[in-house]
Amino acid sequence: MLSNKPSIIWEKWSDPYGIEHNEIIDYHQYDEDNNSNIHAHKIKQNHVLLTNMGMIPYNEYTDCCKIFNFWIGHTNFSLSNKIANIIQDIEGVETLDIFTRYRFRVAFGKAFIDRDVINNINVTISSIFNITND
């Protein structure tokens, strides 16, 4: 039985790959000392993800941080199947991944305000344990 008030600590999920997508930069500069033009070209660095379906280019179109609004929830209660189903059914929850008994990742739809969805999850979880917010 849970001895404390059930709580969820929220943190914004960050991409574990931490890859920044650099664009190609092409510029010209005039070198006054030598009276000549300098042409410099910075090449875009390519990144790929290795999956069971082969290599997938990792860019601004496949970056999950740009596609989904992910958040991590850390709980002081077990994430049972019942709790997982309740979280999934909350308006605005797009995906739910249970990582451990006390940790999950959730994505909110882009048409929803994340703090409103977080509040709805917190209130709903509190009501399951018959606890009111102070």
Both tokens of residue 123?
A: 């209130």
In a domain, 86, yes or no: yes
User: How many angstroms separate the CA atoms of 62 and 49, rounded?
Assistant: 10
User: Are 49 and 89 found together in one domain?
Assistant: no
Query: What does the pLDDT average to over 74-102?
Result: 95
117 or 58, which is more confident: 117
User: How many angstroms separate the CA atoms of 27 and 97, rounded?
Assistant: 44
Query: What does the pLDDT average to over 62-79?
Result: 83
User: How many angstroms separate the CA atoms of 96 and 70, rounded?
Assistant: 9
Both tokens of residue 130?
A: 């018959």
- The CATH number of the domain where 111 resides is what? 3.30.70
User: Are 99 and 49 found together in one domain?
Assistant: no
Using a cut of 0.75, tell me whether the model's pTM lies above it.
no
Q: Which residue has the tokens 């077990």?
A: 78
Query: What does the pLDDT average to over 94-115?
Result: 94
User: Are 92 and 44 found together in one domain?
Assistant: no
Report whether 4 contacts 118 (CB < 8 A).
no
In a domain, 18, yes or no: no
Does residue 66 have a pLDDT over 50? yes
Q: What is the pLDDT of residue 30?
A: 52
Distance of CA 28 to the CA centre of its chain: 38
User: What residues make up the domain containing 49?
Assistant: 25-57
Q: What angle do CA 81, 75, 119 make, to 5 degrees?
A: 90
User: Are 76 and 111 found together in one domain?
Assistant: yes
